[in-house]
Amino acid sequence: MTRKYFGTDGVRGTANRHPMTADVALRLGQAAGRQFYRGDHRHRVVIGKDTRLSGYMIEPALTAGFISMGMDVILVGPMPTPAVAMLTRSMRADLGVMISASHNPYEDNGIKLFDPDGRKLSDDVERAIEERMENGVDGDLVASAKLGRAQRLDDPQGRYMEFVKATLPNRSLNGLRVVIDCAHGAAYRVAPTVLWELGAEVIPIGVNPDGFNINRNCGSTSTQTMCEQVVAHHAHMGIALDGDADRVVIADEKGHLLDGDQLMGLIAARWQREGRLTGRGVVATVMSNLGLEHYLRGLGLALHRVAVGDRYVVEGMREFGCNLGGEQSGHIVLSDFTTTGDGLIAGLQILGLVAETGRSLSEIGRCFDPVPQTLKNVRYANGSPLGNPAVLKAIGEAERRLADTGRLLIRPSGTEPVIRVMAEGTDQRLVKDAVDGVVAALERAAGAA
């Protein structure tokens, strides 16, 4: 069965347009509620959201769906995605839900689901939920006396903040000055508070959400302001989160950025020295730079590559026995603490390294030189440009030219009508030419569709 609603990270789309409508949210709540209604205990679901205006539409629709299936709903309001996963697990909920479109602009929204262990759902479970959505659940609606209830949880932010602070070994950031960009998103309260309570001097930006400004010229996808503030305030480090705070990009004291690959390299080396790294390796996606792979090999560690998406990273970590994994984009999964990417916890690991060594991040932060890499996106309106004969020919030619010196990756986005074309290798000009040739063929095919 081809998936109709779920992409690489839940259900996502333009708010108030199919599939991100109140009607779909209601049916999703009912179908997911039925899927996870197991046993005769009182069932509960935790629902969090980011700061988008459309959250006010989607949250009550989901709530109604779950209540109609006999599940109690615990509403936690604006909270990071990893906080919802943590609360789902710690409160013994049957299901967790995060309403967010992550790094996308406010016009979009999404629904991410977590199982009782706080992990994102497998493809098989998502297919089963979609089948229930398509076939209807009228026959499964509970009797009036068995309807669920909804309530607001007292101080969910406090629960999460104490959990996060406990992940920092020495529980102290005294003497460090930190810029934190919360993207006007879900972490706008908790992230600055955690850093301050741990002893840091905090310069917060992106902490005034209005329903429309999430990720706008701020956060992990727009880091210029964060970098400028780091330099202007002579900060030791800058942390930029995305709208739901499950990914992070970090800047050193000079305003130079470190992506997820560099962060994984730093944490892997530290954890290996401390005897904390498990599985003799790291799990990353097909998008991670070859430079990371070479660096880890020099440490005697393997890089296990999986499909794009932090849930596939988590699955790979379980398969290979690793406690560190992530994506170049900044999803860093530290399974000693979390079941999904957590930008704030990952940032604390790097801050802890700076605090303990007494060295600047510019000295220790760039642990490898990336292999030249080029990534371009091609947007299309309809059809399937990847099936076009001219596109297939261009891809074959690019692969032949790269041969043993690099690699080519073509990946349709799971969240928007975009095809991502990435190549990397030792010859930068050849890498660029390979990508440009495929992109040109795709654009011609997309224009002709």
| pLDDT tens per residue across span 335-384 | 999 999 999 999 999 999 999 999 999 999 999 999 999 999 999 987 78
The pLDDT of residue 145 is above 60: yes
- What's the half-sphere exposure (Cβ side, CA atoms, 13 Å) at 381? 6
The average pLDDT across 211-224 equals 97
280 or 414: whose pLDDT is higher? Answer: 280
Q: How many domains does the chain have?
A: 4
Alpha carbon 363 to its chain's center:
28
Tell me if 95 sits within 8 A of 116, measured CB to CB.
yes
pTM, entire model? 0.90
The last residue of one of the domains, among 209, 238, 267, is 238
The answer for residues whose C-beta is within 8 angstroms of residue 388's C-beta and 6 or more apart is: 441, 442, 445
Confidence of residue 132 (pLDDT cuts 50, 70, 90): very high
Confidence of residue 448 (pLDDT cuts 50, 70, 90): low
Residues 392, 263, single domain; the answer is no
How far is CA 370 from each of CA 28, 265, 291, 302, 435, rounded to the nearest angstrom? 42, 12, 5, 17, 17
Give the pLDDT score at 382. 77
Residues 353, 379, single domain; the answer is no
The pLDDT of residue 159 is above 60: yes
The last residue of one of the domains, among 203, 238, 273, is 238
The pLDDT of residue 421 is above 60: yes
The pLDDT of residue 1 is above 80: no
The last residue of one of the domains, among 307, 333, 364, is 364
The pLDDT of residue 97 is above 90: yes
The pLDDT of residue 222 is above 70: yes
Domain assignment of residue 397, yes or no: yes
Domain assignment of residue 67, yes or no: yes
Per the document, the length of the chain is 449
Q: Which of 54, 68, 100, 102 is catalytic?
A: 102
Domain assignment of residue 144, yes or no: yes
The pLDDT of residue 2 is above 80: no
The average pLDDT across 98-108 equals 97
- Tens of pLDDT, residues 261-275: 999 999 999 999 999
Residues 305, 173, single domain; the answer is no
- Tens of pLDDT, residues 324-343: 999 999 999 999 999 999 99
The average pLDDT across 81-101 equals 98
Catalytic site includes residue 172? no
Residues 355, 411, single domain; the answer is no
Query: Average pLDDT, whole number, for the chain?
Result: 95
The pLDDT of residue 171 is above 60: yes
Domain assignment of residue 248, yes or no: no
- Parent domain of 262: 258-364
Q: What is the DSSP string of 87-122?
A: HHHHTT-SEEEEE--TTS-TTEEEEEEE-TTSPBPP
- Tens of pLDDT, residues 21-49: 999 999 999 999 999 998 889 999 999 99
Residues 211, 272, single domain; the answer is no
413 or 253: whose pLDDT is higher? Answer: 253
Q: What percent of the chain has pLDDT over 70?
A: 99
The pLDDT of residue 444 is above 90: yes
Residues 119, 83, single domain; the answer is yes
The average pLDDT across 161-190 equals 95
Q: Edge-to-edge, what's the strand order for the sheet holding 10-14?
A: 6-7, 10-14, 108-114, 95-99, 44-49, 72-78, 150-152
Residues 94, 210, single domain; the answer is no
The pLDDT of residue 416 is above 80: no
CATH of the domain at 112: 3.40.120.10
Domain assignment of residue 244, yes or no: no
Instruction: DSSP letter for 248, please.
Output: E
Q: What percent of the chain has pLDDT over 90?
A: 90
Residues 285, 383, single domain; the answer is no
The average pLDDT across 419-432 equals 93
Residues 12, 121, single domain; the answer is yes
Domain assignment of residue 247, yes or no: no
Give the pLDDT score at 446. 85
Residues 348, 385, single domain; the answer is no
CATH of the domain at 432: 3.30.310.50
CB atoms within 10 A of CB 447: 10
The pLDDT of residue 449 is above 80: no
Residues 34, 173, single domain; the answer is no
Give the pLDDT score at 404. 78
Alpha carbon distance 306, 285 (integer Å): 5
Residues 113, 207, single domain; the answer is no
Give the pLDDT score at 309. 87
Domain assignment of residue 172, yes or no: yes
